[in-house]
Structures are given as structure tokens and as C-alpha cells.
Amino acid sequence: MSLYTAETRRLTKRRFSRFFLLGVVVVLALIAGGMFFSNQKNTPEVVAAAQAKADREFQQAVVQSEAEKKACAAQPGSDCANMWTPTRDDFQAEWYMPSTFDFREQFGAMETALAAILAVMAFVIGASFVGAEWTSGGMMNLLLWRPQRIKVLSTKLGALLVTLSVVTVVISLIWTGIFAVIGNLRGTMEGMTSGAWQSVMLMELRGLGLVLFAGAVGFGLASLGRHTAVAMGVAIGVVVLFQFGLGTVLSLAGVKFLEAYLIPTWAAAWVDKSVKLEDWNACNVSPDGCVPDTLTITWPMAGGVFGAVLVLVVGLAMWTLRSRDIT
């Protein structure tokens, strides 16, 4: 327990962790501020003004349409029967309203963004937490005090994951609260039944899972390479090689569902419950017309893949620490 407390203190005392967290909070504050100022609540006055504007536009369109029909009829041989005639449905009041934040519809995207940002933070902090210890010699010092390699690394990982969990839960709750306020002041909270709130909570729970996964993988990669730069290098390599490179190659090769080979798709499937990929090169005839082939990636599928990667990376990190000399 004393080792766990010491490692938690070491993590929270590090300036890098603090500054990175501060940076993340600033970015999140800017996003929330942007959403607050770019949305507006639809008060009866706003709705009435939008309705009036829609009516005016409709009337103008009717007048213009009639004038064009008259001009058309004046020209012999012209086919004027198919000319467009404005209807009320073409000028709906909501199209003339300012952007409004519909919590039920839009908070999911905000939650995905939060999970992605916190996952990046977790990866970097996780990698630097153990990487800096290796490069500064702190890990060797610690192992002289506690010559139980697996216990030391596990405790470090545990301290990291618990701290990340606390940070993620606190930030997620604040994030949800802020967007509930934005929904109330600059939009609507309509449809937020207990079931909808439960869905939000489950989504945040999956977001927490993504954050912990990223933190543990960053930690594991830096442990394997005994340097923060190894984890960062692998991350950059994966992005460059697999995201851009593989994406381009698969696109050129005309591979079906190429998004299925890209990590963000799996992350989105995990957080959003599922992602449906469509192949528009395939056309399946149906009464509704051409229907593309689809592939649905569900959150259990994504969880399985992430779990396998997690076990592989962290397991390898533990095994190499146990078997390799510390020089």
C-alpha cells in the first residue's frame, strides 16, 4: 500500500502530468465555450421570428414562381407544366432558427470527443510516467528498494489507472453537467428520459474504458522500450503507417470496408456502441433502389480487439521486465 501511495504521489507531483492535464482542460473548456456561444435557445420569440421569416420567404417564392409561370406561358411552345411551385413544406420555420443544442441528439458526439481527447492524454501521461522513470534512473533506484519487479510495475500501472479513472470520472461528470447547462440555456433537454441518461452513463463508462486502455498501452510500450520516446514512436508509426499508409494502399486496391482497418473506427464503435460501414461499390437491388453492402462493428467486437492488444502489450512489458537485466 505504501508503494501504491508513493507511486500515486509521484504521478500527481510530476509537472508534465499536471501541465498536460491543464492543457486538456483548456482544450475542453474552449470546445464547451464554442458550443455555448454558437448555439441559442429557441424561445417563443425566436420561433415566431423564424416563422415570420419563413412565411415571408414563402410568399416571395410564390410571387416569383407565378411571375416565372406567366413569363413561360407568354412564350409559345414552352412546357410550363413542370415548373416548381413552392409549398409550405419548402419553407419550414426551423430552417430559419439559429443553431440550438439538442442534448439527446448531440451529446453523444461530445462524449466521443471527450473520450478521444482523454485517451490521447492517458497514452502520453502513461508512457512518460514509466518512461521518465527508466531514463532518469528512478526505476533502478526503486527496484533497489523494492526488488520485486512485477509488483513494482503492477503497482505503478495500478496507480496510473486509478488516477486516470478518477480524472476521467470527474471530468466526464463536469463535461456532462456543462452540456446539460448548455442544453438548458442554449438548446433543449427534451427526450432525456431515465433510459436516455442511462445510455449516457454507459457511453461514459465505455469512454472510461478507452481512456484506461490508452493509458495502459502507453505505459506498456514505454516499459518495453524503457523510454517514453518508444511509446511515442510506436504511436506515430502506427498513425503514419497504418492510418495514412494502409488507408491509402487499401483505397487504391479498392478493398471493401477499408475503414475497418483504421483504429478510429474501432474506437468510435466502442464508444458509440456501433459503427456501420457501407460499401457503395456494391449495389444490391431492392424496392428502395440501390442498397450498399454493410459491415457493422459493435462495441463487443471493438472491446475484444482492444482487450487482446492490452493483454499483449502489458503482458509483454511484464515478461520483459521479469526476464531482462537492468543495466
Residues found near another protein in the complex (CB under 8 A): 2-3, 5-7, 9-10, 13-15, 132-133, 136-138, 140-148, 323, 325-327
What is the nearest approach in angstroms of another protein to the Cβ of residue 245?
Answer: 30
What is the nearest approach in angstroms of another protein to the Cβ of residue 15?
Answer: 6
What is the nearest approach in angstroms of another protein to the Cβ of residue 326?
Answer: 4
CB nearer to another protein: pick between 151 and 276: 151
List the grid coordinates of 51: 416563422
What is the nearest approach in angstroms of another protein to the Cβ of residue 151?
Answer: 9
Size of the chain, expressed as the number of residues it contains: 327
- The whole-angstrom distance between residue 231's C-alpha and the CA centroid of its chain comes to 21
Q: Look at phi and psi of residue 324 and say left if phi exceeds 0, alpha if psi is from -120 to 50, else beta.
A: beta
- The whole-angstrom distance between residue 170's C-alpha and the CA centroid of its chain comes to 18
Task: With beta carbons less than 8 A apart as the criterion, state whether 121 and 24 touch.
Answer: yes
Is residue 101 helix, strand or coil?
Answer: strand
CB nearer to another protein: pick between 3 and 211: 3
CB nearer to another protein: pick between 14 and 41: 14
Whole-angstrom CA distances from 80 to 68, 69, 85 are 9, 7, 11
* Cα–Cα distance, 63 to 86 (Å, whole number): 10
Task: With beta carbons less than 8 A apart as the criterion, state whether 121 and 20 touch.
Answer: yes
What is the nearest approach in angstroms of another protein to the Cβ of residue 104?
Answer: 45
CB nearer to another protein: pick between 152 and 216: 152
Q: Look at phi and psi of residue 43 and say left if phi exceeds 0, alpha if psi is from -120 to 50, else beta.
A: beta
CB nearer to another protein: pick between 142 and 267: 142
What is the nearest approach in angstroms of another protein to the Cβ of residue 214?
Answer: 23
Q: Look at phi and psi of residue 254 and say left if phi exceeds 0, alpha if psi is from -120 to 50, else beta.
A: left
CB nearer to another protein: pick between 143 and 196: 143
What is the nearest approach in angstroms of another protein to the Cβ of residue 139?
Answer: 9
Which H/E stretch holds residue 304?
A: helix 299-323
CB nearer to another protein: pick between 142 and 164: 142
List the grid coordinates of 117: 481527447
Nearest residue to 291 via CA among 278, 301, 304, 302: 278
